[in-house]
RNA sequence: GGGCACAUAGCUCAGUCUGGACAGAGCGUCGGACUUCUAAUCCGACGGCCGCGGGUUCAAAUCCCGUUGUGCCCGCCA
């Protein structure tokens, strides 16, 4: 029995130790920073034991930028009392008790006031640059653990608007980060094809003709065409006279009953509308690109009997009550005041009932499940998790990533009302603005690389779509976003182009070099400047960033990291000549540039942002 | 009415879970740097009751309590 998961208060459901099992490393896995961190923990523990002091809280942290250390400990604050000496003296005593010699990656242990600082060794820097020569630097070892990431899952009622766009962008990044962290990931889109909305849509599509509709489709694609029927149908239900509405409702109800009864002809009628609209939406999402391994239809769990089976098991549970002719579940043990109805008084299932069958199916086929949901589904997600627990599942196998909606300054976006900015329009506009930028800069290009029209178009796509994605994925999902054109299309620093530009610069230098760097040519003793060192330090942290982002299901951390890496590279670029350096330094710096290129490309890849070879 | 989230520089955001080094960036404003591996870059200046009030602690943007404002949810809808 769990208590924290599913509660309406407190943090979103998440296993205590972060996502998944602790990572144990692996032969192929780059370990530099994480190994260093482990050594620091070990050294601190040993030092404290030597002094007969408690080792429960090591206080390991990353020091501020101007401190010449990669990790530090604030444990001296807590030793002061124990030792009867002020924190700086305690720090001194502890540092003296630590012998860095046995450790591969600890060069020195120093103190600065009350802090014990740990500096990295030559081997740490050397191995970092070597490890980052791999194209897939940052890819962690396979964990033999499968995860299904469900995201987007928008009802197939019409074009994807910006209010929903956070879901595929976030979801794709979550899936990427788990993939990079060594999980076997599948991406699913759950298609709600059994609800009232689709019944209304099917009825409207059959009832109305082209001539009944308001105007031309906004775009030449299926979902823009068909959404006009959906809107017409809803409008009819709101404005027609009572008798006509009653007739319509009977037809809509017949469609729902047909689905419930397993009527093949009804499935086909609804399926035609669903598949057509969904096909168009897929074309839109592919532009991001967000692609799926499987589109899982809700009706599947009605047809295979699993929804009925779930309902039967719930009826037999201790939490079930039959009130007001409907089967309900008491969830007060899980801090939910109201009962959850799982069978209507007419015996038919509800969305949640089908979703329970869906999630048990996920548990049958995957080790873990992650769902990316808008905040309006948070309550339902908690109830789902509680009910999965009642059904005897381990609810910790399911995690939710919740994001706040993107709203317009004037309010919500709605497919039915026809309000909102379409994702297609946003992407078009972003590409157009990026193209203008590229063309504007064409005149004063220092680099003589003759961009042709095809290059310009490629860069415009990479930068335009990249900027939109980055803008969304870089923010914490819990923060609300109000959509404004100028803000969404701001290509200034701290956005995708800033990071992409670093990749293009790396490519430019490597092109110019005419020889590929190789692992054997790296010698970090030929990289003496603080800028060299700082860049290597940032590169070394990348695998740890992936690990943390995967554990906490927070891809925005990877975005924060890309900015830190870009800053470190730009500082390096400013003060460290590569091609004109002496031979040994040139070889090492070329390797460092290649390392940066791989890291930037891979980190952007996790975010779903392309890395241009030139800009 | 109840629950959940959000609030950090004029604007957009990191940092909050796991309390520690003077609260960091970018945009905007002002001032600088391209005969140089790409200036979509870099350097400098200005700019902060970390919503507000209490509490815990050697130490609070971070933890606890209260409060205000905003968003979301509380259906035999999805």
CA-to-C1' span, A471 to B8 (A) = 19
Q: In sequence order, which residues have a C-beta less than 8 Å from that of residue A543 and are 6 or more positions away?
A: A29, A30, A31, A32, A33, A34, A137, A138, A140
Q: What's the pLDDT score for residue A448?
A: 67
Nearest to A90 by CA among A36, A48, A122, A49: A48
Q: Which nucleotide is nearest to A346 (CA to C1')?
A: B76
Q: Which helix (H) or strand (E) holds A120?
A: strand A115-120
CA distance linking residue A52 with residue A145, whole number of Å: 41
Alpha carbon A93 to chain centroid distance?
Answer: 44
Task: Report the pLDDT averaged over residues A458-463.
Answer: 95
B strand bases under 7 Å from protein CB? 2-7, 12-18, 20-22, 24-28, 34, 36-43, 58-59, 71-78
Distance of CA A578 to the CA centre of its chain: 35
Q: What percent of chain A has pLDDT over 70?
A: 94
How many whole angstroms separate alpha carbon A314 and alpha carbon A336? 17
Distance separating alpha carbons of residues A361 and A173, to the nearest angstrom: 24
Instruction: From A447, A450, A451, select the one nearest A462 (Cα to Cα).
Output: A451
- Strand B proximal to A476 Cβ, under 7 A: yes
Asked if strand B contacts A507 at the CB level, meaning under 7 A, the answer is yes
Per-residue pLDDT at A139 exceeds 70: yes
Q: Which residue is nearest to nucleotide B72 (CA to C1')?
A: A376
What is the C-alpha separation between A143 and A131, in angstroms, rounded? 20
pLDDT band at A485 (very low <50, low <70, confident <90, very high): confident
* pLDDT band, residue A66 (cuts 50/70/90): confident
Q: Which nucleotide is nearest to A460 (CA to C1')?
A: B40
pLDDT value at A28 more than 60: no
- Tokens describing residue A405: 């909606």
Q: For residue A335, what are its two tokens?
A: 């801090």
Strand B–CB A556 distance below 7 A: yes
Of all nucleotides, the one whose C1′ comes closest to residue A57's CA is B18
Interatomic distance A183 CA / B19 C1' (Å): 33
Q: What confidence tier does A29 reach under pLDDT thresholds 50, 70, 90?
A: low
Q: How far is the CA of A454 from the C1' of B41 (A)?
A: 25
What DSSP string describes A478-513?
Answer: TS-EE--HHHHT--SSSSHHHHHHHHHHHHHHHHHH
Q: Cα(A551)–Cα(A93) distance, rounded to whole angstroms? A: 35
Contacts of A180 (CB under 8 A, 6+ apart): A138, A139, A140, A546, A550, A602, A606
pLDDT band of A24, cuts 50, 70, 90: very low
Residues 113-132 of A with CB under 7 A from strand B: 113, 115, 117
Nucleotide nearest to A463 (CA to C1'): B40
Q: What is the pLDDT of residue A3?
A: 33
Whether residue A4 has pLDDT greater than 90: no
User: What is the pTM assigned to this prediction?
Assistant: 0.93
Structure confidence by residue, pLDDT tens digits, A179-208? 999 999 999 999 999 989 999 999 999 999
Is A410 near strand B, with its CB below 7 A from some atom of it?
no
Cβ of residue A384 lies below 7 Å from strand B: no
ipTM of this predicted structure: 0.95
For the CA of A575 and the C1' of B42, the distance in angstroms is: 10
Collapsing DSSP to helix, strand or coil, A68 comes out as coil
3-state secondary structure of A72: strand
**Closest nucleotide to A506, Cα to C1':** B37
For residue range A401-416, what is the model confidence (pLDDT) as tens digits? 999 988 887 878 888 8
> Are A588 and A527 spatial neighbours (Cβ–Cβ below 8 Å)?
yes
Whether residue A515 has pLDDT greater than 90:
no
Question: Tell me, in Å, how far CA of A379 is from C1' of B73?
Answer: 7
Distinct helix (H) and strand (E) counts, chain A: 20, 14
pLDDT, mean of residues A77-85: 87
- The predicted model gives A371-375 an average pLDDT of 96
Nucleotide nearest to A12 (CA to C1'): B4
Q: In this complex, which residue's CA is closest to the C1' atom of nucleotide B25?
A: A494
Residue A314 CB contacts under 8 Å (≥ 6 apart), including other chains: A320, A327, A329, A342, A356, A387, A390, A391
Angle at CA of residue A586, ends A583 and A588, nearest 5°: 110
Question: CA of A322 and C1' of B9: distance in angstroms?
Answer: 58
Q: Which nucleotide is nearest to A467 (CA to C1')?
A: B40
Burial class (CB in 10 A: 0-12, 13-18, 19+), A577: exposed
Nearest DNA or RNA nucleotide to A323 (CA to C1'): B76
pLDDT tens-place string over residues A242-284:
999 999 999 999 999 999 888 999 999 999 999 999 999 999 9
Separation of CA A422 and C1' B14 in angstroms? 29
A88 touches strand B (CB under 7 A): no
Query: Residue A91: which of A102, A82, A100, A101 has the closest Cα?
Result: A82
């Amino acid at each position: 029995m769990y208590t924290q998961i599913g509660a309406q208060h407190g943090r979103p459901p998440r296993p205590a130790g972060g996502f998944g099992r602790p990572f144990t490393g692996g032969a192929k896995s780059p370990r530099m920073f994480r190994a260093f961190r482990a050594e620091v923990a070990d050294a601190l523990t040993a030092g404290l034991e030597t002094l007969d002091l408690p080792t429960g809280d090591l206080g390991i942290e990353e020091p501020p930028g101007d401190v010449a250390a990669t990790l530090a400990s604030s444990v001296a604050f807590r030793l002061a009392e124990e030792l009867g000496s002020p924190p700086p003296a305690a720090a001194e005593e502890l540092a003296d008790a630590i012998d860095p010699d046995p450790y591969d990656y600890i060069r020195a242990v120093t103190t600065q006031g009350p802090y014990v600082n740990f500096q990295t060794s030559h081997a740490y820097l050397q191995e970092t640059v070597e490890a980052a020569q791999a194209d897939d630097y940052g890819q962690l070892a396979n964990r033999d653990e499968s995860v299904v990431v469900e995201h987007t899952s928008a009802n197939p009622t019409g074009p994807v608007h910006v209010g929903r766009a956070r879901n595929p962008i976030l979801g794709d990044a979550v899936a990427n980060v788990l993939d990079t962290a060594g999980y076997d990931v599948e991406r699913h889109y759950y298609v709600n094809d059994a609800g009232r909305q689709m019944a209304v849509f099917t009825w409207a599509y059959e009832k109305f003709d082209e001539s009944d509709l308001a105007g031309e489709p906004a775009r030449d694609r299926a979902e823009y065409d068909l959404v006009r029927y959906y809107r017409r149908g809803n409008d009819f239900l709101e404005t027609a006279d009572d008798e006509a509405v009653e007739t319509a409702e009977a037809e809509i109800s017949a469609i729902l009953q047909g689905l419930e009864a397993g009527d093949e002809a009804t499935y086909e009628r609804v399926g035609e509308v669903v598949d057509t609209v969904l096909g168009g939406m897929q074309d839109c999402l592919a532009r991001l690109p967000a692609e799926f391994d499987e589109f899982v239809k809700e009706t599947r769990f009605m047809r295979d009997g699993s929804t009925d089976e779930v309902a039967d098991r719930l009826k037999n549970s201790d939490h079930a009550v039959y009130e007001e002719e409907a089967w309900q579940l008491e969830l007060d043990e899980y801090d939910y005041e109201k009962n959850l109805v799982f069978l209507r008084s007419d015996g038919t299932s509800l969305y949640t009932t089908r979703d329970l069958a869906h999630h048990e199916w996920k548990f049958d086929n995957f080790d873990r499940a992650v769902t990316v949901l808008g905040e309006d589904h948070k309550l339902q997600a908690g109830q789902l998790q509680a009910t999965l627990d009642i059904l005897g599942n381990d609810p910790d196998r399911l995690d939710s990533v919740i994001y706040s909606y993107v709203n317009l300054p004037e309010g919500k976006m709605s497919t039915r009302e026809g309000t909102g900015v379409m994702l297609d329009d946003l992407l078009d506009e972003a590409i157009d603005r990026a193209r203008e930028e590229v063309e504007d800069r064409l005149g004063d290009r220092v680099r003589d690389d003759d961009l042709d029209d095809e290059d310009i178009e490629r860069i415009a796509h990479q930068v335009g779509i990249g900027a939109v994605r980055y803008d969304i994925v870089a923010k914490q999902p819990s923060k609300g976003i109000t959509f404004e054109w100028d803000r969404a299309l701001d290509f200034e620093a701290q956005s995708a182009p800033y990071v992409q530009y670093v990749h293009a610069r790396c490519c430019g230098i490597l092109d110019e070099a005419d020889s590929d760097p190789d692992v054997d040519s790296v010698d970090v003793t030929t990289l003496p400047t603080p800028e060299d060192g700082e860049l290597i330090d940032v590169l070394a942290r990348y695998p740890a960033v992936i690990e943390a982002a995967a554990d906490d299901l927070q891809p925005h951390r990877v975005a924060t990291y890309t900015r830190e890496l870009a800053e470190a590279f730009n500082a390096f670029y400013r003060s460290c000549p590569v091609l004109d350096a002496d031979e040994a330094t040139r070889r090492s710096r070329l390797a460092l540039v290649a390392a940066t290129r791989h890291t930037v490309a891979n980190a952007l890849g996790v975010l779903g942002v392309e890395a241009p070879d030139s800009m």
